[in-house]
Amino acid sequence: MSRWLGVAAAQLGPIGRNEPREAVVKRLVRLLREAHERGAELVVFPELALTTFFPRWALARSVADQWFETEMPGPATKPLFEEAALLRVGFFLGYAELTEDGHRYNSAVLVERDGSIVARFRKVHIPGHETEEPWRSFQHLERHYFEPGPDSFGVWEAFGCRVGMMLCNDRRWPESYRVMGLQGVELICCGYNTPIHYAPDPSQDVLAGFHNQLVLQAGAYQNGTWVVAAAKGGIEEGVDSLAQSSIVAPSGQVVAQSLSADDEVIVARCDLDWCSRYKSTLFDFARYRRPELYGLITASSDDPGRSGPSRRDVTP
Ligand code: CDV
C-alpha cells in the first residue's frame, strides 16, 4: 500500500512595489482554492510571496521594513490561514521576517492542514551583495537586508511524510538537499525569485532555466525525494524573473511544470513510497556513503587553499 499526497506549486506572477499585502493574499487564496479543487493537500508558494522582490533596490533597512512581517500569521495573512484550515489544505509560504529582537531573515513557514505552524525555516545561503553596486542595471541586495539563517536544514513529520524546506539560492547547493537527505526527507518545499539576468556573469542568463532544472532534478534523485519548487516569475518592476515552477519525483523526473510566468497552479499526486526505492538501493546512505572521506565538505571555508577565487572584487 503506497502513501499518496496531492501537492501543488502555486506560482506567482509579478507583485508591484505598491501592491498592498491584502491584494496579494487574495491572489494566494485564489491559488489555494484552485489547488484544493485539483486535489492538493499541500500548496507551496514562492520565496517572499507577500511582497515585491525589494532587494533589487538600495534602500535604508528602515524603509524596507514595510515589506517585513513581525508576526505570522499577522492581520494581512490571517485570511490565508483561515481559508487553508477551512479547506484542510496546508501550505509553505516565503516571507521577510523581522524578529522582536531586530533580526531580519528571508524565511518560510510550513503550515499543516489544521492551520497549525509545523516549523519556520530561515534561508541559509544568502546570495548577492551587501552594498549598492551602481554598475548593475538592478541590485541584488539580499546580503544588505537579510542575515543568513542560523539554523540548518531541518526535516519535520508532517503531511504523513518527512518534509524539509529551502529557499531559492539554497536549491543550487548539494549540501542543502544532502543535509535533509541524511534526515530521511521525502518532500522538499522550495520557493524562489530568480532574476534571469545575472550581472556578475551574464553568459549564465541563457542557462537560467537549465540550471534551475539541473539542480532540482539532481537534488531530488541523489536524495530520493520529491521536490516542489514554486517561482515568482515574470517581469516585476522591470526585472524579468524565471518562472518554470516544477514538481520533481525521486527519480529526478519532472512530473509537472508551469507553462506561464503568471499566477498558475501545477499539481501532482505523489507516491511518497517512491522515495524508499532510491533510498534503499543506489542511495542507501548507510551502506554506500564514505563520510570519513568527505571531511573537506564541512571544513571551514576560511582554511587556506580550500575555496576558489571570489568574483566579489571583479570589476565588470
Ligand atoms: N533569490 C535568490 O536567491 N536568487 C538567486 C539569484 C541571485 C541567483 C538564485 O539563486 O536564484
pLDDT for res 314: 40
How, if at all, do strands 90-98 and 42-44 pair? parallel
Average pLDDT over residues 107-112: 98
Please list every protein residue whose CB sits less than 6 Å from any atom of ligand 1: 47, 127-128, 140, 168-169, 172, 192-194, 198
pLDDT for res 306: 53
- Report which protein residue has its CA nearest ligand 1's atom 1: 193
Task: Look at residue 65 and tell me whether its pLDDT is greater than 50.
Answer: yes
Residue 265 C-alpha cell reads as: 497552479
Ligand 1 nearest-atom number relative to CA 128: 7
**pLDDT digit string, tens, across residues 154-211:** 999 999 999 999 999 999 999 999 999 999 999 999 999 999 999 999 999 999 999 9
pLDDT for res 37: 98
Residue type present at position 260: S
Could you give the CA distance from residue 44 to residue 21 in angstroms, rounded to a whole number?
A: 18
Complete domains list, the chain, with CATH: 4-298 (3.60.110.10)
Q: Is 41 left (phi over 0), alpha (psi -120 to 50) or beta?
A: alpha
What are phi and psi for residue 76, nearest 5 degrees? -75, -30
pLDDT for res 303: 64
Rounded mean pLDDT of the chain? 96
pLDDT for res 313: 39
Task: Look at residue 301 and tell me whether its pLDDT is greater than 80.
Answer: no
Confidence label for 2 from pLDDT (cuts 50, 70 and 90): confident
Cα 165 to ligand 1 centroid, rounded to whole Å:
16
Which residues, including other chains, have CB under 8 Å from residue 26's CB and lie 6 or more apart? 79
Of all residues in the chain, the percent with pLDDT exceeding 90 is: 94
Average pLDDT over residues 143-151: 98
Q: Which residues are catalytic?
A: 47, 123, 168
Task: Look at residue 308 and tell me whether its pLDDT is greater than 90.
Answer: no
**pLDDT digit string, tens, across residues 234-277:** 999 999 999 999 999 999 999 999 999 999 999 999 999 999 99
Could you give the CA distance from residue 201 to residue 184 in angstroms, rounded to a whole number?
A: 36
114-119 CB contacts, 8 Å cutoff, 24+ apart:
114/85, 114/88, 115/81, 115/82, 115/84, 115/85, 117/72, 118/90, 118/156, 118/158, 118/163, 119/154, 119/156, 119/158, 119/165
Task: Look at residue 316 and tell me whether its pLDDT is greater than 50.
Answer: no
Task: Look at residue 278 and tell me whether its pLDDT is greater than 70.
Answer: yes
pLDDT for res 270: 98
Of all residues in the chain, the percent with pLDDT exceeding 70 is: 95
**pLDDT digit string, tens, across residues 197-207:** 999 999 999 99
Could you give the CA distance from residue 161 to residue 275 in angstroms, rounded to a whole number?
A: 10
Ligand 1 nearest-atom number relative to CA 167: 3
> Which pTM value belongs to this model?
0.96
- Report which protein residue has its CA nearest ligand 1's atom 11: 194
